Amino acid sequence: MLKSSKELLVTSLKFPGDVLLGEMLLSFSGRGSLLVENYRTIVLYSDTLIKLQGKNYCLLIHGTRLSIEYYNQEEMKIAGQIQSVEFK
Amino acid sequence: MILKLIHWLQGIVQLEIKGFSPERFFNLCSLNGIEIWDLIYENGRCRLSMILPDFWKIRAFARKSGVRVKVAGRQGLPFFVQRNRKRKLYFLGTASFFALLYGLSLFIWDISFSGNYRYTEDTLGAFLEERGIACGVKKNQVDCEELEAALRSGFPEITWVSARVSGTRLYIQIKENEVLSKIEEQARQPCNIVADFSGTITEMIVRSGVPMVSVGDTVEEGQLLVSGFVPVTNDADEVVKTNLVQADADITARSSGSYCQSFPLLHSVTVDTGNERAGFFIRIGPFLARFLLPSREGCTWRTSFQEHQLSLFGDFCLPVWWGRIRSSQCISYERSYTERELEEKAQAIHQTYLKNLSEKGVHIIENNVKILKDASLCHVEGNFVGEGPVGRAEAIAGE
């Protein structure tokens, strides 16, 4: 109830969800590059799957020849052939 | 690019990681501010790059996460220095290079002018040189404020100057006065107006003084046109007093004139033979070295230089100039003008004469030109009929 009311407040006041709700921001450049912001930790890393933990859910990036160009506490840039993105 | 340079200066270590939980290792590194890039998964191993100072911090994280770290590659300045530590002359040469650059950066090696239209760069450069400011002067000897004041006082048409030193270049921006700085005051002393050439008066407007001629009169050079003596008469038409005024009038006269100008029939012609030499030159300070194929004696060459100045990072100019030399062989010989060339040259002389008259305000009504030749000279005889302003001020004697 509390969460939904917070979401409602953010939506109605048009506040940015990534700041107040800690949502992940994903920026694609075609299928070869993805910038992920607001992630917490790396759960799993291989050349076909990268699993990242967000505040409320996990992000799974499936693909081939996946590599991490750089990462820090705030953002991560992923390169390779991205096939799908899944939230769990 | 700058980030890569910083990484290179700090030293880059490429690692291979294998073990129980590489993800935990990555998270520990991230939480502790260790920068990792180029993370690639290959055959159950992870390859990554980090800077050398961070490499010394990761031992504990590797132990905690149960991974084995293997150094796969090393790049950057610390490793380069380590590899070449025995090459003392190499480092001495590098240090000398930077010391030389630092030494050169203490001087002015280029002076750039902008905004000057009336005064050429040569004029301004010569003025600065008189004050001891030229290429090669020390930067701390250049007082920009003093230089600005000197330029303003030295050139009255310059209304605004900005001088600044950027790198090893002295920038001088100038704004010149677009209107005349002073209008010449006319002398207000009594004078007559006399004819400065012979002719027939066609128009006459007298503003001050007594007219001595009228429209249609023929006047000779030096004849009085308007007198500055203005008589004051009484009722009996007797002159009681004479006032001296500055005669002022617009007088137009029609006159005819002629001129004769001669030039030799033979003239020197220089033509290219088609032979060319190319080379280059390099000038370091006052020392010039030219690399150009030698020429046979007795040949005349026309040579042009294209000069460039060596500069690092835009305004960091160095006292090194280089450029290409192009030299083309030419021969000179004397030949006489053809009929067509003679006519063209004669017309050019005549047109120049008429243009000079037009600039003086003379309206040309009729003109003729004749070309006469003798053994060695060509004579251009021209005559014209024109209307133009006549009269010059002549101070009244005794005043």
For chain B, the domains span 2-82, 110-176, 186-265+337-399, 268-334
Q: What is the pLDDT of residue A49?
A: 93
| Cα–Cα nearest to B353, from B234, B273, B260 | B260
In this predicted structure, the answer to whether residue B103 has a pLDDT above a threshold of 90 is: yes
Ordered by start, the domain boundaries in chain A are: 22-87
| Nearest-angstrom CA–CA distance, B9 and B19 | 30
Interface check A73 vs B, CB under 8 A: yes
Model pLDDT for residues A21-51, shown as the tens digit of each residue = 778 899 999 999 999 998 999 999 999 999 9
| pLDDT (mean) for B242-264 | 88
The region, left, alpha or beta by phi > 0 then psi within -120 to 50, assigned to residue A68 is beta
Q: Helix %, strand %, coil % for chain A, to 5? A: 15, 55, 30
Instruction: Say what percent of chain B tops pLDDT 90.
Output: 31
- Based on its alpha-carbon atoms, the radius of gyration of chain B, rounded to whole angstroms, reads 41
Question: What tens digit of pLDDT does each residue of B3-47 get?
Answer: 899 999 999 999 999 988 899 999 999 999 999 999 999 888 999
Contact partners, residue B172, CB within 8 Å, separation at least 6: B111, B112, B113, B114, B124, B147, B151, B161, B162, B163
Q: Which residue has the tokens 């133009």?
A: B388
Of A43, A44, A68, the CB nearest to B39: A68
Looking at residue B36, its pLDDT comes to 92
Taking 60 as the threshold, does the pLDDT of residue B242 lie above it? yes
Name the pTM for this structure: 0.51
Alpha-carbon gap, residue B260 to B368, rounded angstroms: 12
Residues B58/B61/B62/B64 CA torsion (nearest 10 deg): 160
Instruction: Identify the pLDDT of residue B229.
Output: 87
d(CA B262, CA B342): 11
Provide the pLDDT for residue B230.
Answer: 87
8 A C-beta contact, residue B67 and residue B19: yes
| pLDDT score of A2 more than 60 | no
B399 pLDDT more than 60: no
pLDDT at B299 over 60: yes
Residue with tokens 């012979």: B198
Window from B178-187, B198-207, B271-280, B283-292 with minimum mean pLDDT: B178-187
Q: What is B2-82's CATH superfamily? A: ACT domain (3.30.70.260)
pLDDT at A20 (0 to 100)? 67
Interchain pair A72, B23: CB under 8 A: no
Distance CA B341, CA B378 (A): 12
Distance from the A84 Cα atom to the nearest Cα atom in chain B, whole angstroms:
19
Q: What is the predicted pLDDT for the residue at A66?
A: 93
Distances (CA, A) of B52 to B11, B39, B71, B78, B239: 5, 16, 11, 9, 113
Q: With beta carbons less than 8 A apart as the criterion, state whether B41 and A47 touch.
A: yes
Q: Minimal Cα distance from B45: which residue of A?
A: A46
- The dihedrals phi and psi of A52, each to the nearest 5 degrees, come to -120, 145
Domain with residues B110-176, CATH architecture: Roll (3.10)
User: Taking CA atoms, what residue in B is nearest to A67?
Assistant: B40
Give the tokens for residue B161: 């100057």
**Residue bearing tokens 């009594």:** B190
- Kindly report, residue by residue over B69-79, the tens digit of the pLDDT: 999 999 999 99
Fill in the amino acid letter for B378.
Answer: C
pLDDT confidence of B181, banded at 50, 70, 90?
Answer: low
A41 touches chain B (CB under 8 A): yes
What pairs with residue A53 in β-bridges? A41, A58
The CA distance from B39 to the nearest CA of chain A, in Å, is 5
Do the Cβ atoms of A71 and B27 come within 8 Å? no
pLDDT at B398: 59
Please give the average per-residue pLDDT across B161-167, as a whole number: 91
pLDDT in tens, B331-350: 888 888 888 888 888 888 88
What mean pLDDT is predicted for residues B61-88? 91
| Candidates A43, A44, A69; nearest CB to B37 | A69
Residue of B nearest to A48 (CA): B41
Residues of A in contact with B12 (CB under 8 A): none
Which CATH number applies to A22-87? 2.60.40.2000
Contact A74, A38 (CB under 8 A): yes
What pLDDT score does B185 carry? 61
Residue B211 has pLDDT above 70, yes or no: yes
